[in-house]
């Protein structure tokens, strides 16, 4: 996934960047972070020369987040993907963009940096003056809201025993040929634009941090327990929502319980604390560190021991626990979260939830005319075959002629960097206008579209829509009433409230097509992507809620298939169980060549469906000009195969030619100083490492072009032999001498 980029802009502006970093980012100049053969370490004095070397790419540098007086010039967020997981990379980018949009909504300017080219991202927030670290840390924890994101600073104040954490500066990555890129309006900027974006990043007034509530987030690493056990703790009953699962209710309710109370109720006892972080000893042990709490400000409980009822199977042991997960395992429920929720929540809450759930399910039965008060009785009797005859004779209603039928859910699947969102934007405009998608595929008639996008904010998606409109010869105003876009809220497939809301929107605005980009944003944390029942049922149910509108969903492939070039993926390459079985139309995209970080894309596509449509296309798409060239994929692949076969044959011939030339040289070397002929066997005996077959071929060729001459000669026993070889220039001399000697005889 990582792609080397042109670093000249970073090198050209290394001095400007060094001055900018010294002014805006350096919290302390007595120490700095750097990298060596054995990993990261802390080095001595930091100056402008060191920073210039960093931006030039000579020596990678990191800056400490906290000054000696416990102030910060900046806040950094680090969203990691050390394993290069493509699925995690997509999730990380989505998370990063959500955070960036959240900051913009708060009036806070920030820069999103592609820090490693492999799904790892940094967000930089600059301040116009040094801000107390305590305020910055409190804001950071409020901002990430429990997400698995590292913050710089990682603590409210330095402990006095260290310098705090440091974060690598934008620029060259320390282990791979990747140079940082900065996110622009819905796309990554090139190197020159990225450099200018950083140099011109506005510094925020410290007052922007006042959005955090006066009461700090729950950080109870050393909060005193008010009760000995959780069972004795009195708290208000949780709000009950029938569309929310019992697990969700339990999970948000337990967050009101201090960590210390949870831990002490299970026999854990406090070993030490420094005001922010604490260490704990397991039940049955008098002292020693068995776990840490709130390490680095993460508000998680990290267990090191196997001597508890927490998972110790080598997979989960040693991982961090949130409050709800800790409750499930410490109470021996394991992964059975529903049973744990029923045990944890009061009986009247469980009963009230069940009643509301039944009411919501009953009220959710959706039709065009009315909502029945109770679900119709299921008979599972099927239809008589004679009743199916009208269906067999019915014509297909095509959203896109010969590609997508309207009565089947459509999967828009793709490998990494295959323009899923871009091509869906063009499809959206084509559907709304009734024109041609990608200039090649005819849309049957104009259709009203509801487009959910989780890959960009309104500004970014509007820029793409504008390009698509221009390409289709239309405008935003001309499409009024035909297209609705939601880039802020994303429906969760299993959430009945969300499903009802989408169904209401379909009815209210007479929507014909609902597009969801991407599918994974509609999944919840409780869904098991390896269970067909979880994923498949959620997709099918959501498609039913969207009716009579058609459903189009985008999704990504597995990491392994994403590496392949020159062929589109198959349905089985989609991540998650139940994906292939849930869609009746599919459009699956790959790349014919590696992603080059430019505007030009060479894509390969296969499409198919349950209405007997099938085919393949090659698409050359220019993202800058928004133009597409569509051709037959089979013909392209055939040409590619023929060209590859010709190249192989040419290479084989060239290899053979070089081998024969080597053999010719060997024959010439053997015969160069010979004044008397050598037999073919004698030449072969002196061939060295050259294969016998090639020596014989070389001798034959040299006979043909008369580089060699054949002579009679007398062997060691003075017998007259034929078939001796000499180089042509030596052969004439030999013939004269041989004739004379024979005459003498």
CA distances from 36 to 7, 174, 175, 408, 731 (A): 21, 9, 10, 56, 68
pLDDT exceeds cutoff 90 at 359? no
Q: What is the mean predicted confidence (pLDDT) over 332-351?
A: 81
Is the pLDDT at 230 greater than 60, yes or no?
no
699 sits in which H/E element: helix 692-704
Q: How confident is the model at residue 459 (pLDDT cuts 50, 70, 90)?
A: confident
Rounded Cα distance, 459 and 293, in Å? 40
Homologous superfamily (CATH) for 8-211: HP0184-like (3.90.920.20)
| Separation between Cα atoms, residue 353 and residue 9, nearest integer Å | 59
> What are the tens digits of pLDDT across the range 533-576?
778 889 999 999 999 999 999 998 886 765 677 889 999 888 88
425: buried, middle or exposed (CB in 10 Å: 19+, 13-18, 0-12)? buried
What is the average per-residue pLDDT within 425-447? 96
Q: Are strands 121-132 and 111-114 parallel, antiparallel or unpaired?
A: antiparallel
Give 513's strand partners.
449, 550
Average pLDDT for residues 249-268, to the nearest whole number? 84
Helix (H), strand (E), coil (C) string for 399-413: EECCCEECCCCEEEE
Would strands 61-64 and 71-79 be described as parallel, antiparallel, or unpaired?
unpaired
Confidence of residue 345 (pLDDT cuts 50, 70, 90): confident
Predicted TM-score of the model (pTM) = 0.48
Does residue 68 have a pLDDT over 50? yes
What is the structure's pLDDT at 456? Answer: 64
Rounded (10°) angle between helices 246-254 and 337-344 = 60
Residue 117: left if φ>0, alpha if ψ -120 to 50, beta else—which one?
left
Sheet holding 61-64, edge to edge: 39-43, 32-36, 61-64, 166-168
Can you give the pLDDT at residue 7?
57
Is residue 518 within 8 Å of residue 93, measured between CB atoms?
no
Distance CA 320, CA 142 (A): 20
Q: Summarize pLDDT for 80-101 with one digit per residue, the tens.
A: 875 666 667 777 888 888 898 8
Output the CA angle 229-230-234, nearest 5 degrees: 115
pLDDT at 516: 97
How far is it, in rounded angstroms, from Cα 322 to Cα 251? 9
Where do the domains of the chain lie? Answer: 8-211, 230-348, 397-625, 640-744
Q: Residues 601, 629: contact at Cβ < 8 Å?
A: no
For 235-243, what is the mean pLDDT?
A: 57
Homologous superfamily (CATH) of 397-625 is P-loop containing nucleotide triphosphate hydrolases (3.40.50.300)
User: Using an 8 Å Cβ cutoff, are 179 and 171 in contact?
Assistant: yes
Rounded CA-CA distance 279/261 in Å is 15
Decide which of 289 and 418 is more confident: 418
Do residues 263 and 224 make contact, with C-beta atoms less than 8 angstroms apart?
no
Do 111 and 47 touch, CB atoms closer than 8 A?
A: no
Separation of alpha carbons 549 and 442, rounded Å:
19
Q: Give the integer Cα–Cα distance in Å for 276 and 156.
A: 8
Q: How many whole angstroms from its chain centre is CA 386?
A: 50
Check: CB of residue 65 under 8 Å from CB of residue 199: no
Q: How many CB atoms lie within 10 A of CB 69?
A: 11
- For the record, the structure tokens of 644 come out as 């590859």
Cβ atoms within 10 A of the Cβ of 670, count?
A: 20
Q: How many residues does the chain have?
A: 745
Mean model confidence pLDDT for the chain: 83
Question: What Å distances lie between residue 437 and 423, 469, 632, CA to CA?
Answer: 9, 12, 16
For residue 314, the model assigns a pLDDT of 39
Q: Which residues contact 277 (CB under 8 A, 6 or more apart)?
A: 155, 221, 292, 293, 294, 295, 296, 297
Is pLDDT at 221 greater than 80 in this prediction?
no
Per-residue pLDDT band at 112 (split at 50, 70, 90): very high
Choices 2.40.10, 3.30.70, 1.10.10, 1.10.1220: CATH for 640-744: 1.10.10
Q: Can you tell me the distance from the alpha carbon of 606 to that of 584, in angstroms, rounded to the nearest whole number?
A: 14
State both tokens at 447: 């259709």
In whole angstroms, give the CA distance from residue 296 to residue 598. 39
Most confident range (mean pLDDT) of 228-237, 493-502, 603-612 is 603-612
pLDDT of residue 268: 84
> At 382, phi and psi to the nearest 5?
70, -170
Q: For 566, left (φ over 0), alpha (ψ -120 to 50), or beta?
A: left
Cβ proximity of 365 and 372 under 8 Å: yes
Q: What's the angle, vertex CA 149, arms to CA 147 and CA 152, rounded to 5?
A: 135
Average pLDDT over residues 181-201: 89
């Amino acid at each position: 996934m990582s792609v080397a980029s042109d670093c000249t802009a970073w090198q050209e502006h290394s001095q400007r960047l060094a001055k900018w970093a010294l002014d805006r980012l350096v919290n302390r100049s007595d120490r700095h972070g750097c990298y060596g053969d054995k990993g990261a370490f802390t080095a001595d004095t930091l100056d402008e020369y060191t920073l210039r070397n960093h931006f030039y790419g000579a020596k990678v540098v990191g800056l400490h987040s906290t000054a000696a007086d416990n102030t910060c010039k900046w806040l950094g967020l680090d969203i990691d993907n050390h394993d290069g997981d493509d699925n995690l990379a997509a999730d990380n980018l989505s998370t990063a963009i959500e955070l960036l949009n959240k900051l913009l909504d708060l009036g806070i300017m920030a820069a999103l940096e592609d820090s490693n080219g492999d799904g790892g991202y940094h967000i930089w927030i600059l301040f116009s003056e040094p801000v107390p670290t305590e305020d910055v840390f409190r804001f950071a924890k409020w901002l990430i809201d429990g997400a698995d994101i590292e913050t710089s600073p990682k603590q409210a104040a330095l402990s006095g025993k260290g310098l705090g954490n440091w974060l690598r500066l934008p620029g060259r990555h320390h282990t791979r040929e990747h140079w940082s890129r900065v996110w622009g309006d819905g796309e990554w900027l090139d190197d020159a634009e990225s450099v200018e974006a950083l140099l011109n990043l506005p510094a925020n007034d410290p007052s922007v941090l006042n959005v955090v509530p006066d009461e700090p987030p729950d950080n109870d690493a050393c909060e005193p327990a008010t009760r000995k056990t959780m069972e004795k703790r009195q708290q208000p009953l949780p709000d009950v929502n029938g569309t929310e699962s019992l697990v969700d209710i339990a999970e948000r309710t337990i967050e009101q319980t201090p960590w210390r109370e949870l831990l002490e109720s299970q026999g854990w006892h406090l070993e030490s604390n420094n005001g922010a972080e604490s260490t704990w000893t397991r039940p049955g042990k008098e002292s020693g560190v068995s776990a840490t709490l709130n390490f680095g400000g993460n508000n998680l409980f990290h267990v090191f021991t196997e001597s508890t009822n927490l998972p110790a199977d080598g997979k989960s042991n040693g991982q961090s626990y949130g409050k709800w997960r800790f409750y499930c395992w410490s109470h021996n429920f394991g992964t059975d979260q529903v049973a744990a929720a029923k045990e944890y929540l009061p009986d009247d809450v469980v009963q009230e939830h069940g009643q509301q759930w039944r009411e919501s399910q009953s009220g959710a039965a959706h039709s065009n005319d009315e909502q029945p008060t109770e679900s119709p009785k299921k008979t599972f009797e099927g239809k008589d075959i004679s009743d199916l005859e009208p269906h067999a004779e019915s014509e297909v209603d095509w959203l896109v002629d010969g590609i997508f039928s309207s009565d089947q859910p459509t999967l828009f699947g793709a490998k990494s960097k295959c323009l899923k969102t871009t091509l869906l934007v063009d499809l959206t405009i084509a559907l709304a206008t009734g024109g041609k998608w990608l200039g090649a595929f005819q849309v049957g008639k104009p259709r009203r579209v509801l487009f959910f996008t989780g890959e960009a904010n309104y500004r970014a998606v509007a820029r793409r829509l504008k390009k698509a409109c221009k390409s289709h010869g239309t405008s935003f105003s001309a499409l009024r009433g035909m297209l609705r876009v939601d880039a802020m809220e994303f429906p969760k497939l299993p959430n009945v409230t969300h499903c009802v809301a989408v169904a209401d929107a379909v009815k209210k605005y007479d929507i014909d097509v609902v597009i969801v980009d991407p599918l994974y944003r509609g999944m919840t944390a409780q869904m098991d992507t390896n269970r067909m029942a979880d994923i498949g049922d959620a997709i099918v149910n959501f498609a039913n809620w969207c009716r009579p509108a058609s459903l189009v969903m985008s999704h990504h492939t597995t990491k392994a298939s994403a590496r392949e070039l020159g062929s589109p993926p198959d349905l089985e390459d989609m991540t998650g169980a139940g994906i292939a079985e849930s869609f009746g139309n599919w459009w699956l995209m790959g790349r014919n060549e590696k992603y080059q970080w430019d505007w030009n894309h060479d894509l390969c596509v296969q499409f198919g469906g349950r209405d007997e449509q099938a085919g393949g296309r090659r698409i050359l798409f220019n993202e800058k000009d928004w133009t597409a060239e569509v051709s037959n994929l089979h013909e392209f692949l055939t040409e590619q195969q023929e060209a590859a076969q010709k190249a192989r044959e040419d290479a084989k011939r060239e290899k053979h030619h070089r081998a024969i030339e080597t053999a010719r040289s060997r024959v010439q070397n053997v015969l160069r100083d010979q004044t008397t002929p050598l037999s073919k066997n004698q030449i072969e005996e002196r061939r060295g490492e050259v294969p016998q077959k090639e020596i014989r071929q070389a001798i034959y060729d040299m006979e043909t072009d008369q580089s060699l001459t054949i002579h009679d000669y007398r062997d060691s026993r003075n017998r007259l032999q034929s078939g001796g070889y000499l180089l042509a220039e030596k052969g004439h001399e030999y013939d004269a001498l041989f004739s004379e000697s024979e005459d003498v005889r």
